[in-house]
Structure 1
Amino acid sequence: MDDEKRMKHFAHVTQAHPCFNEKIHDKVGRIHIPIAPSCNIQCGFCTRKLDGKENRPGVASCVMTVDQALEHIRETTSKMPISVVGVAGPGDSLCNSGTLELFRRVREEFPDLILCMSTNGLLLPRYAEEIAEVGVKTVTVTVNAVDPEIGAQIYDDIEYDGEVYHGIDGFNILLENQLKGIEMLSNLGVIVKVNSVLIPGVNDKHIVEIARVVKSKGASIMNVLPLIPLNKFKDVERPGCGMLSTVREEVEEYLPVFRACTQCRADAFGIPGKKNQDFSLEMVPNSHY
């Protein structure tokens, strides 16, 4: 898909997606379905947690079955304006078989909802065609480096085809699949957003290069997220507004930047960041999930 067609497609699909369009971010809702507990990589800043009350990615109060997820969608859409159903963890979407099954069933029952998913990208080339076939319109791929020396500092373990890889060897496998997957999805008409976690002293000078590379593969928009200090980066200071703003401005030389992300939980639902209208399953009294 050429750039002109990609941008027209982007404008059409994302007009109702609160995580791709800042103008409607506080007006329409999304549902994150916590159906994907397993992950095939270990990021240095990631700590996955169930039953945690922390408001951040990688946290959910439970893991749903497909049937439970559909019931949750039915109940939620009957109570509030929802435009998007997404899978964002608490592990990796493509490392869990229920993700694509859920999307097939949601498309059948709720054809007007936009289907969305987030992934680390390791398995994207394997599933890109199926992702498009089940009706997923937008995919967010987290790419934190395109330089092996930097990537090896961020990722500890890469589990791929039954083997565990470390350091540069592992990162090279991940990066190759991320970039190939982004290109495949883009060519299939799926809109790709790239998330990059800004880690001061590690990749803060490098994110603009990520933007240049992923644009060349067909990404349409980028989201630069401040590090939440956890795991081996727990002692790294969260980047301030000045650093974040500078990096985002550099990225905008290549791609539009989404600036309204609230870094929400894997079981969030409702209108992002809006008081009394943004929820997680932990906040639902007597939740049976």
Structure 2
Amino acid sequence: MVHSGETLAQELPYDPETLRRINEHPCYSPEARHSFGRCHVAVAPKCNIQCNYCVRDFDCVNESRPGVTSMVLKPEDALERIDEVVSKMKHIKVVGIAGPGDPLANPETFETLRLVHEKYPDTILCISTNGLLLPDKIDELEKYGVRNITVTLNAIDPAIGEKIYSFVEYGGKKYHGREGAELLLKHQMAGIEEAVRRKMLVKINTVYVPGVNDTHIPEIAKKVGAMGVFNFNIIPLIPQYKFKDIVPPTPAEKAHMHELCAPYVRQMRHCQRCRADAVGLLGKDVQNEFGCCGKGDGSGGGCN
């Protein structure tokens, strides 16, 4: 099936509740970003893989990129923050957990989901994960009402994956090189397949790394489109850590990549590369307007 980047959810054979989770989620509907917002709660500091482009700075108020937050919150403090946000911003429809580490590698994620699901059963809950633990944790996600899942999938060829990941940690053991890339890919594919089978809405994030996975990205799009994922988000590399010397793709190159991938899967073209504590409409974050000082686990050093 050929998808346009602007395909309307209403044209698809979804039930009313699934349509709501599309039409009120700013990442799943281009139109929703103008009317509906999200509240990310940063409760997940630990990560179980190391990407060669990833630096997680907890105490940074001036950067807007994945992995950044001003403070890591405890679950009960996250709920208080959500209470404050939704009391002041009625257009907030989504509560997301996107780090600063991998949500599924942190038990605090599931306690937060439980608290939010019990108090706000109609709120759209979503998580963003590298997918390593998705097959292991998908029952818990379903239990707490998570029906929107983003998986960062940067390669479907381990020979390319091993260039992107320094290590993968699973079952108390660290895997490096090709072995780590193969393990991660195996779990990602199994998790995505199972999430789609359970009729969850799956979004794929792929980091566009020139000279590493750029020619491979259309193959990723073709594979996940055939698996039944909802949409595909291409994220230009932010040069840092081991990839700090790679020149990121230009907007024109990113737009061209979307066109190469569009025949296979619906494209998300409006990503703002959200912080782990983002609040508000996409591109109009207001997280600094909400208090958090004196709370959290101390990892972030407090609010600035």
State the TM-score bracket (shorter-chain normalisation).
over 0.9
Residue of structure 2 equivalent to 1:86: 96
Aligned mate of 1:220, from 230, 253, 276: 230
The aligned counterpart of 1:8 is: 14
Kept in 1: contact 2:81–2:292 (CA 8 A): no
Give the distance between the partners of 2:101 and 2:272, measured in 1 at CA. Answer: 18
Partner secondary structure for residue 8 of structure 1? coil
| 1:204-263 deviations in Å (ceiling 9; x for gaps) | 111111111122333111100110111011111111012101111111111111111110
- The structural deviation recorded for 1:58 is 0.4
1:109 aligns with 2:119: yes
- What percentage of aligned pairs have identical amino acids? 45
Stretches of structure 1 that go unaligned for 5 or more consecutive residues are none
Aligned to 1:77: 86
Residue in structure 2 matching 1:287, options 283, 289, 293:
293
Write the deviation string for residues 121-170 of structure 1: whole angstroms up to 9, x where unpaired. Answer: 00011011221121001000000001111111001110011111111100
156-165 or 125-134, which moves further after superposition?
A: 125-134
The residue number in structure 1 matching 2:140 is 130
Aligned to 2:175: 165
| Structure 2: unaligned runs, 5 residues or longer | 1-8, 296-304
Which amino acid in 2 is paired with 1:52? C
1:139-218 equivalent positions in 2, closer than 5 A = 139-218=149-228
1:210 maps to amino acid? I
Whole-angstrom CA distance in 1 between matches of 2:268 and 2:70: 27
Distance 1:106 1:163 in 2: 32
**In the alignment, does 2:46 pair up with 1:38?**
yes
Q: Provide the rounded CA distance (Å) in 1 between the counterparts of 2:169 and 2:196.
A: 25
- Residue 7 of structure 1 contacts residue 220 of structure 1 at CA under 8 Å; is this kept in 2? no
Given that residues 179 and 217 in structure 1 are in contact (C-alpha distance below 8 angstroms), is that contact kept between their aligned partners in structure 2? no
Indicate the larger mover: 83-92 or 184-193.
184-193
Structure-2-length-normalised TM-score: 0.89
Instruction: Name the counterpart of 1:242.
Output: 252
Secondary structure of 1:214's aligned partner? helix
Measured after TM superposition, the shift of residue 7 of structure 1 is: 5.2
Number of aligned residues? 282
Shift of 1:8: 1.6
Tell me whether 20-29 or 114-123 shows the greater mean CA deviation.
20-29
SS of 2:286's equivalent in the other structure is: strand
Q: What residue identity is the alignment partner of 1:121? A: G
- 8 Å CA contact 2:224–2:265 kept in 1: the answer is no
* TM-score normalised to structure 1 length: 0.93
Report the Cα distance in structure 2 between the residues aligned to 1:70 and 1:49, rounded to whole angstroms: 23
Distance 1:45 1:75, change over 3 A: same
CA distance in structure 1 between the partners assigned to 2:292 and 2:127 by the alignment? 27
RMSD across aligned positions (CA): 1.7
Q: 1:46-65, aligned counterparts within 5 Å?
A: 46-53=54-61, 54-65=63-74
Write the distance in 1 (CA, Å) between the matches of 2:146 and 2:12.
16
**Residue 24 of structure 1: how far off its partner (Å):** 1.5
